Structure formats: C-alpha cells, structure tokens
Chain A
Amino acid sequence: MSNITLKIKDIYGSEIRTRRTMEEFAHTLILENSYLLDFTGVEQISRSAVDELCNIISDHGSIHTVNMTPFVQKMFDTVLISRFSPRVRTKSTSEVIRCSTMQELSQCFSELRVLTR
C-alpha cells in the first residue's frame, strides 16, 4: 500500500470539464493505495466532474482532497449537499403545441413571436 499525492492540474489542466475526465482518472487508481488529490491551480471544474469525483471518493474509500480554490470548493460543497438531499424539481410542465403541417408550424411561430418581443 502506498500513499500517493497527485497534482490534478499537472495531469488534467486548470479546467476539468467533463465527467469523462474523472472516469479516466478512476481507471488509474489502485484500490490498495491511499491518494491525496492536490487541486492547486485548478481554476474550474464542472458539476458533472465533481459528481463523478464524489463517486470515486465514495467507492475507493481512501482518497482525500486539498488546496481547492474557492470556486472548486464551492462546487464540491454544492454537489455533496445535493447528493444527500431529496431532489427538488420545479415540475413546471411546458405547454405542448402540436404542429402536423408546415402551415401549422408557421402559424405557431407567428403567435409565439409575439410572446418573445
């Protein structure tokens, strides 16, 4: 078993955009090792990437993080809270307009254009 420190910016850059990046990271991990993820210099991270990182941390059991920028930390905190909270949806059902011909579609757009002005 080894204790390994990984500088995330050196591996994935200052902006971590997608869940796929973290999925690829997960494949590099060895279960027996302990990891410290250093986020120094990581300026941006997407919500999806953070969620995947949370999955990795949860599944691996021996991963810790340090040196998160305020933005990254805030994203992390937001995702963690939402994972453990019931999902609240707006349940706003959009009005459905069915157009079976081009004429109906044009008429629909004419009426909708008024709404957008």
Chain B
Amino acid sequence: MFLRSGEEKINRLDYSCLFFCPKCTNKNIHAMIFQNIFCLSVLFLYFCFYKIDTMIGNVIDIFEDYFLYVNQKSISSELATSNAIIEIYNNINYNTPLKSATAFGLKAMEDINKVIDKVKSDMTIQSNKFADILQPFSYLVSEITDNMQQHSNALIGYIFANFNTDKEQLEIVLADGGLSIYGSYVKANKFLTEIQNSDICAVEIAKEGYSTKDRPEAENRGYGLSTNIKMITEGLKGDFAIMSGNALFVSSINKLIELPPQFDWKGTLVLATIPTNIPSKFSFYNYI
C-alpha cells in the first residue's frame, strides 16, 4: 500500500479537480477538503485506485488498503476516517488534483445533472472507448443517484470517476454520508424482521431489490441496485461493491463481509468497475 513505507508517494499528472459543496463558500480546495471529512473518506478510497503495485479494478485490494491503513494508526473509530484522510493528504503532492472528483448537492436536479455531464465529458476526454459503455454508465449513475435522493436522507453525494486506460475500464465511486441502507429500512419501518438489526442483512435484501417505497398494489421499485449489480457483474464482466455501515458486499465473488467494529461507513458507498471490452452477447435491455 502506498502509505505503509511512508516513502511511496503518488505522483499524478493532469488531473482536474472539481470540488464544490453547496454549504462551502470557501473555494480554496485545501480548506474545502479539510472541512468536509466525509468527502475525504471517499477521496481516500479514490486514491486507493492508484496505489503502487496496483491491482486496479480489484475491489478487494482497494478496500483492504483502506482498512489496513485505518487499523495501522490505531485510531479510535470516531476519528479513524478523518485522521486517515488528513494524514494521507499530507503525503500527497496536492498540486496534483484529482480526475473528475466531485461533491454535489442532492436536492437540486440541476446540480446533479451538471456534475454528471461534467463526469461524462471528462471520461470522454480520457478515452474514446468510454463511448462504448456510455449506456451502462448513464444507467448506473442515474439509478444510484436516485437511491441517494430517495433513501439516504443526505444533502450531499459524491462521485469519483477515472478511466483506466491500461485496463480499459471505467472506475467509479458513488457515495453518500446518509442513513446507510440499514438506517433507511429502519426509518421507513420496513422489512425490520428481514434486516435483523444488521447492516449485512440490510445490504443482502437491498441488492435483491426490496424497496421501502413500493406502491401498495405492486412491487414497482427496488430495481436500480439489483439490475446494476447484475448488468455490471454478469453482463459486462466488471465488478460492483457496496459498503454500508459495517457491511461490505463484493459482487464478483458474491460475498458479504461483516467488518470489524472499527470500520463503520456512515452512509452508503458504491464502487464499480466497467470494462469497455463488452461481451458480444451483451444486451443492455436484458438487465433492466
């Protein structure tokens, strides 16, 4: 991991950093980042994509680095995320901003649309192969953003995206610091027996499409997450991970990991890798 030795540093070129937060009036990037602890957590996970000796696209490695670092520092759970991010940031050449990393307000559709359009534009500039997966990208971002708006009770969402030209795949993180999946079910007073006071159980039924907001006459909702998992993993041979509370799900190996108590994501994070080498038999419509 790039921080274990203290000597490894990340050198990144030509990133464009776009941070804005409806609550922040200070446009200084450093101040904005330190003011927004949750943003730093997601920022750290994004940087994990770029660790030396990388296994980019292997979500297991990405998450393990995050957990190892937090654990190394023996930081209390309340401060683990913020301290980890601050220390990491201090080791980074902050003249090298990120590629298409953005916070966005969840209330106004104009805000969300502007951010997503910017990400699309940035990814298109990074690689013309992005056009091959534009449809799945649009579907993923639309549905996960919709989930943030409908269920998280968060004011701000985060999207980090990068096109990995070596592996020819899109790597994308969407996250919020809201209720978590478990918290959303509890707030709606739905499926309490199924979730059993457990983030693990909550993530399990969420990925099967159990929604808190079905109409009385029909199970019309809950397709966004379940269809994306299937489309990206089975259809496109990519990977999809969800971290919510102390539950981590990795779709490519179909495992749910209950994390140690010191790791508790206050919200929900989705990480997806989408290869541009689309299988010949893939049809988007088979997965929606």
Contact = CB atoms under 8 A, between A and B. Distances in A.
Interface of A: 12-13, 15, 17-21, 24, 44, 46-49, 51, 54-55, 74-75, 78-79, 82-84, 87, 89-102, 104-106, 108-109, 112-113, 115-116
A21 B116 CA distance: 15
A116 B60 contact: yes
Nearest to B230: A90
Given A49-B142, A54-B220, A55-B220, 6 more contacts: A17-B116, A17-B146, A49-B146, A96-B256, A102-B67, A106-B68
A115 B239 CA distance: 13
Contacts, number: 132
Interface in B39-68: 58, 60-61, 63-64, 67-68
B188 interface: no
A97 to B, nearest CB: 5
5 contacts: A48-B223, A54-B220, A93-B204, A94-B254, A96-B200
Given A91-B208, A105-B67, A18 B60 contact: no
A84 B256 CA distance: 32
Contact of A18 (B64, B146, B223, B261): B146
A97 B64 contact: no
Given A95-B255, A113-B61, A18 B142 contact: yes
Nearest to A44: B138
A13 to B, nearest CB: 7
Nearest to A115: B253
Nearest to B70: A102
Nearest to B224: A48
B261 A47 contact: no
Contact of B68 (A17, A89, A98, A102): A102
Contacts of B68: 102, 106
A18 B109 CA distance: 8
Interface of B: 58, 60-61, 63-64, 67-68, 71, 109, 112-113, 116, 138-139, 141-143, 145-146, 149-150, 200, 204, 207-209, 215, 218-221, 223-224, 226-227, 249-250, 252-262, 285, 288
Contacts of B143: 46-48
A97 B209 contact: no
A100 B261 contact: yes
Given A20-B149, A21-B109, A83-B218, A46 B142 contact: yes
Given A99-B259, A102-B260, A105-B260, A18 B288 contact: no
A99 B68 CA distance: 13
Contact of B112 (A17, A54, A99): A17
A18 B256 contact: no
Contacts of B204: 93-94
Highest count of chain A CB atoms <10 Å: which of B67, B138, B257: B257
Contacts of B257: 96-97, 99, 105, 108
Given A83-B220, A95-B254, A109 B260 contact: no
Contacts of B227: 47
Nearest to B210: A89
A104 B139 contact: no
Nearest to B246: A99
Nearest to B261: A100
Given A48-B143, A109-B60, A97 B256 contact: yes
B56 to A, nearest CB: 13
A94 B233 CA distance: 14
Given A96-B200, A99-B258, A17 B220 contact: no
A106 B282 CA distance: 35
Nearest to B109: A21
Contacts of A12: 109
B146 A20 contact: yes
